[in-house]
Structure 1
């Protein structure tokens, strides 16, 4: 019983959670969302560029995209954060300043781009080749066919996977912890970790974990909903369209009413 009480006091001390909750909500939550949303937007734009390079007819852009993807997907995320956030800071400080905040966003964006690029590439390549051939037959150039016909269809097919990557970015924002943010720039994990170090109690970290769950679980269900609608929405729409109106006799293939 004593061991169980000690466990509750160490991990589920509600007084310690209540003390850190205002800072988690007022400081950590906004910074975490800024990191995730900013890196999500930049990573999506750069990832789309990588996807187009990856399916290019020319070898050089294909090789460059593959090398970039292999490196950023193969190295540990913490190492990439340190290499970019600290290693590149002397070069970027004249433009971005000495604050690690923008470097954290840059590092997260470059890491996300490697995964998002592969997501886009698989989605684009899943579009039937007949779509490209049909648009070329109508007089579109190759670039116009890709931009107006193929890429929009590929992006639509991978929306659930993109949402999953955004959920991963929310959690990966905790890696900015390695760059040493100012007190006003700390994200959820850093605030929980600092409170844990000061009090010697792990409950603030548990509170941070609960806040991550509050953010990610609804997004996970949203992903499942979007995926279900993309898979079944069109079929349901067609089924409703083909249903005869009330009071109207069903029509056979030849067009005459079925007796």
Structure 2
């Protein structure tokens, strides 16, 4: 009976929303076919392509930085360990938008330096710095999750600590952390929308900036709905992949 009541409440809520919604106005504001047609092919060839490209750059850069930081945090050398801890706590504590803004405007002005690839490149550096801090903790957890017997067996065979880490520990650690790293990739896809604050040219716009500009020009929300659909088209398969990987790892354990 309790389940039946819950289902009835759900159906009633859906019916109430459907009855109360102004479908004509929603169609006028978000489903204009002519405006949607105007966005092609640039929304795919420029905006979606840049979103994936920026995500890949930020992910690879963050992964490399995360490995270095994780090894530094696990190091027995105290200055390295404290430096890694300070970095990770700093960039995990700051909003990503603030970091991107600092790299795009504050640092170049304060130090009189020019970032590679202009403002977008500076924004990507900020995104890499943030991603590296989060990935470092994920990688560190993966390293600690490898049984100590693996390391002891490698050392007993005469492997150095560095060779053991590269050949034995890290490969097993990455097998453990594939699901959370995939989640981080999904988060980076959405975080590329923060690059708008760094500015962009016509050829460097990502999905959010591209559709926001189109919405401003047309005074209509259709481009935003298209961007939302493209984001879901990209992220949903990845989130399902994470679920599959987690189930397989659970069975393996």
Aligned to 1:107: 126
Gaps of 5+ in 1: 236-259
Aligned partner of 2:222 in structure 1 is 203
Question: What are the residue-to-residue correspondences of 1:238-257 with 2, within 5 Å?
Answer: none
| Count of residues in Structure 1 that have an aligned counterpart in Structure 2 | 233
Distance (whole Å) between structure 2 residues aligned to residue 33 and residue 165 of structure 1: 14
Task: Report the TM-score when normalising by structure 1.
Answer: 0.84
1:81 alignment counterpart = 100
Contact 2:58–2:127 under 8 Å retained in 1: yes
Q: Which runs of 5+ in 2 are unaligned?
A: 1-19
Label 1:38 to 1:92 Cα distance change in 2 as closer, same or farther (>3 A).
farther
Q: 1:2 to 1:218 in 2, by over 3 A?
A: closer
Residues 34 and 76 of structure 1, relative CA distance in 2, 3 Å threshold:
same
CA distance in 2, matches of 1:195, 1:204: 6
Aligned counterpart in structure 2 of residue 96 of structure 1, from 107, 116, 122: 116
The TM-score normalised by the length of structure 2 is 0.85
| Per-residue CA distance 1:63-109 (angstroms, 9 max, x = gap) | 11111111111111111110112222345855625x21211221111
Distance 1:216 1:102, change over 3 A: same
Q: Which moved more, 1:39-48 or 1:13-22?
A: 13-22
Counterpart of 1:193 in structure 2 is 212
> In the superposition, relative to structure 1, how do residues 208 and 21 fare at CA in structure 2: closer, same or farther (>3 Å)?
farther
* TM superposition shift of 1:2: 8.6
Contact 1:21 1:207 in 2 (8 A): no
Instruction: Give the drift of 1:18.
Output: 2.4
Q: Deviations over 1:195-235 (max 9, x none)?
A: 11111112211111111111111111122222333333x58
Separation (CA, whole Å) in 2 of partners of 1:163 and 1:193: 27
Q: Structure 2: how far apart are the matches of 1:93 and 1:14?
A: 46
Partner of 2:8: none
Quote the residue 1:212 is aligned against.
231
**Residues 1:89 and 1:34: Cα distance change in structure 2 (over 3 Å):** farther
Q: 1:6 to 1:73 in 2, by over 3 A?
A: same
For residues 212 and 165 of structure 1, what CA distance do their matches in structure 2 show? Answer: 15
Alignment CA distance shift 1:57-1:85 (3 Å): same
Q: Map 1:130-209 to 2 at 5 A.
A: 130-209=149-228
Does the 8 Å contact 1:101/1:181 carry over to 2? yes
- 1:129 to 2:140 alignment: no
The question of whether the paired residues in 1 share the 8 Å contact of 2:63 and 2:132 is answered with yes
1:42: which partner in 2? 61
**Equivalent-residue separation in structure 2 for 1:95 and 1:210 (angstroms):** 33
Cα distance between partner residues in 2 of 1:218 and 1:119: 22
Larger Rg: 1
